[in-house]
Structure 1
Amino acid sequence: MQTYEITVRARSGFATPLKGDTLFGHICWQAAYDRNLFNSSIEDLLAEYERRPFIVVSSAFPKIYKGDREFYAFKKPDLPLDMIFDLTSMDKAEIIRQRKALKKRRWMIVAKTESIHSIKDLEFLDNEDLFKRAADGLPEETVREFSFNSASFIVDFSQPHNTINRLTGTTGEGMFAPYSTIQEVMFPETELAIFVGVYDPVKIDAVEEAFKRIGEFGFGRDASTGLGRFDVCDVSEVDLMKIGASSPNSCYTISPSVPQKAAFQQMFFAPFIRFGRHGDRLAKAQNPFKNPVIMADEGAVFVPNDPSIFKKPYIGTAAKGTSKVLPEAVSQGYALYIPLREEI
């Protein structure tokens, strides 16, 4: 499997988080409608998905720059705080006082060209600190305009909606009552890194084209109102193994996953329940909702029983049986990972 980094730039807010399993679903719809995209039908692409996934997609993570150096802002690992931060110099009272501030540091900063020796050596930032880091080099007017509302890298924006009753010409009650939806708005000019792993015969050029189409027509919920838009800026090959430790003993995942049974001796993760629903034409089906899938969110750390697991750049399984109206539907339970060596 070859792994690549696809850099995108957000052009709007997102009503649906850019998580790997949802991006995978969008790519599958592209393949279903355009057989020529991957020179294969979606049925053929998914035929061996349980054994050999044709593509594995990560969630999206912010990219920041300092001079000519590139950094990724990954999610903080779901490990106990004393396994992430050096707390040996603090007494219990100080640890309790600092606990809330440490939990707010949700971003793990990783240099693109350097290897991770230990998580404790890395820098962790909260939303406000990441905002300041991302603001370096941008026009002062842009920074001032965004920070006027919130000096945070990601803010929640409440978007009001009105449905007009054509008989009265106004809003009203019931289905005509005004309502609001929440969308995530990122810092202007934000670049996001999405990592994909592909097996032959899938070509990265086809994956890039799929992402361009998704960015043009919109990703996720409320795409028809202008949300979920992004541009594809760059595609480059990347080796996640080189970013990680040379002698790893654990896997740090970068998308939600369904870990394979009996493969790990220890697992640290935040549960994530995917209450999925069909998109595209099946969104209007009699039952558009999928069966819930319990996953380990990105940022999970798994300690394998067998070191041979590091021979593959991904872990996890295919999530099948998720749909009542489309029995052959499958959800991505695989995740690319960065190898770590930690005292666990």
Structure 2
Amino acid sequence: MLIYLKPLSIFPELHSDTLFGAITYAISQLYPEKVDEMVKSFEDEPPFIISSTFPFIFKEDFENGKKIKFYPKIIFPQKSKDLEEKYHPKDFKEYKKVKFIEENLFFDLLKGKLSESDILRNYNQYTFIKGLLMRESYNIDVNFGENIIPNNSVNRITNETEGIFYTSGNEFKNMGLFFLVEFMDEDYKPIVKAAIKFLKDRGFGRDISTGKGQFDYFIDEEYSLNHYGGNYFVTLSRFIPNSDDLAHINEFASYEIDSKRGKSSSNEIRKQIRFFKEGSVFPDYKKYYGRNVSSGKVNPAIEFGFAFPLKCNLEEDK
């Protein structure tokens, strides 16, 4: 299932862990009798997995118009220093700024029909806008990026302004975000759909009281990803490995590691969580990868850490 989000205001960054937290919260409000059962089920076999959100471009009609989707830049085993020495420095410098790759390019890379060297060798044939790499230039005025907004802090008792604080988020023009959900247990499909509707009415993020995080959405239930053959996979979500996953990482795996340390509504600082970033590549040896991690004592939370894997047969750069 593919879910398109059209931000209507300043919108937060939504990685798979944040998205899962919001969906879990919505389920706890709509189906309080089911949320504990759902969280526990992830200890054995996930009833569903979700990707992070990625950008798409649309023109005029959000629901029925053409949508150009982008996936995360794949972290190839090829060392960037080798590529830098082979190709024009200006092209390589710009290519390093690429964050997302147009869908058709992404799947050609997955199938091994294309390599990073092929892209850099013919870089002048591609279009690069705002971190997006695409095969052609679309006649659509697009823009997205972070915006920092000043807000007044008001004393609720005296109704007087006490100072200014700042919040940040992303703004979009002719663009939106999409994410994928794969269900292992179909009983959760209507539950997740109801959670998305609840979040539309509520908003994403902590600044919903000031109108931020509002969105429209559209669900494409027919969309399914093609899983190509290969001995490796690319993750479309933040991936927290278990000990078995770590034992299978070999010299051909290619990844970037990041971390987060969340804070609860009561200002409790939760433990630091490390994860592999979207676009990382690993050996494919089983059906599910990763785990959920408990975080926090005063206000416990669950950090989603299952990989959203896409098998791949990456072409070796020459």
- Structure 2 counterparts to residues 330-341 of structure 1, below 5 A: 330-341=302-313
Q: Does 1:102 align with 2:88?
A: no
Cα pair distance change 1:163/1:35, threshold 3 Å: closer
Q: State the secondary structure of the residue aligned to 1:196.
A: strand
CA deviation map 1:186-218 (0-9, x unaligned): 223x23221012232533232122112112211
Structure 1 CA distance for aligned equivalents of residues 135 and 293 of structure 2: 39
Between the two proteins, what is the percent identity of the paired residues?
26
Q: State the secondary structure of the residue aligned to 1:334.
A: coil
Q: Does 1:74 align with 2:71?
A: yes
Following superposition, the deviation at residue 112 of structure 1 comes to 10
Cα pair distance change 1:132/1:340, threshold 3 Å: closer
Q: CA RMSD in A?
A: 3.5
Alpha carbons 1:63, 1:70 under 8 Å: kept: yes
Structure 2 CA distance for aligned equivalents of residues 53 and 181 of structure 1: 34
- Structure 2 counterparts to residues 247-258 of structure 1, below 5 A: 247-258=229-240
Structure 1 CA distance for aligned equivalents of residues 132 and 275 of structure 2: 29
* Aligned twin of 1:214: 199
Alpha carbons 2:52, 2:237 under 8 Å: kept: yes
Alpha carbons 1:65, 1:134 under 8 Å: kept: no
Alpha carbons 2:3, 2:179 under 8 Å: kept: yes
Alpha carbons 1:216, 1:231 under 8 Å: kept: no
Letter of the structure 2 residue corresponding to residue 12 of structure 1: S
- Structure 2 counterparts to residues 316-327 of structure 1, below 5 A: 316-320=290-294, 322-326=295-299
Q: Does 1:34 align with 2:20?
A: no
Structure 2 CA distance for aligned equivalents of residues 62 and 167 of structure 1: 42
Q: Which runs of 5+ in 1 are unaligned?
A: 144-151
* Aligned twin of 2:255: 269
Q: What's the TM-score, normalizing by structure 2?
A: 0.79
Q: Does 1:20 align with 2:16?
A: yes
Aligned counterpart in structure 2 of residue 48 of structure 1, from 41, 46, 54: 41
Cα pair distance change 1:315/1:112, threshold 3 Å: farther
Aligned counterpart in structure 2 of residue 160 of structure 1, from 150, 166, 180: 150
Q: What's the TM-score, normalizing by structure 1?
A: 0.74
CA deviation map 1:263-295 (0-9, x unaligned): 3224422222122233xxxx1x3x533212111
- Residue range with higher mean Cα deviation, 225-234 or 157-166: 157-166
* Aligned twin of 1:196: 181
Structure 2 CA distance for aligned equivalents of residues 154 and 86 of structure 1: 32
Letter of the structure 1 residue corresponding to residue 111 of structure 2: H
Following superposition, the deviation at residue 124 of structure 1 comes to 7.4
- Alignment: residue pair count: 298
* Aligned twin of 1:147: none
Structure 1 CA distance for aligned equivalents of residues 218 and 240 of structure 2: 30
Structure 2 CA distance for aligned equivalents of residues 275 and 134 of structure 1: 39
CA deviation map 1:148-174 (0-9, x unaligned): xxxx63222120112246899865xxx
Letter of the structure 2 residue corresponding to residue 60 of structure 1: T
Following superposition, the deviation at residue 234 of structure 1 comes to 2.2
Following superposition, the deviation at residue 59 of structure 1 comes to 1.0
- Structure 2 counterparts to residues 94-173 of structure 1, below 5 A: 94-111=87-104, 116-118=110-112, 119-120=114-115, 125-127=128-130, 136=139, 143=141, 153-164=143-154, 171=161
Runs of 4+, deviation exceeding 4 Å: 65-70, 80-83, 112-115, 121-124, 128-135, 164-171
Following superposition, the deviation at residue 114 of structure 1 comes to 6.3
Structure 2 CA distance for aligned equivalents of residues 227 and 82 of structure 1: 40
Q: Does 1:186 align with 2:182?
A: no
Alpha carbons 1:109, 1:124 under 8 Å: kept: no
Alpha carbons 2:49, 2:182 under 8 Å: kept: yes
Alpha carbons 2:71, 2:106 under 8 Å: kept: no
Structure 2 CA distance for aligned equivalents of residues 114 and 295 of structure 1: 24
Structure 1 CA distance for aligned equivalents of residues 249 and 127 of structure 2: 27
Q: State the secondary structure of the residue aligned to 1:64.
A: strand
Structure 2 CA distance for aligned equivalents of residues 54 and 340 of structure 1: 24
Q: State the secondary structure of the residue aligned to 2:18.
A: helix
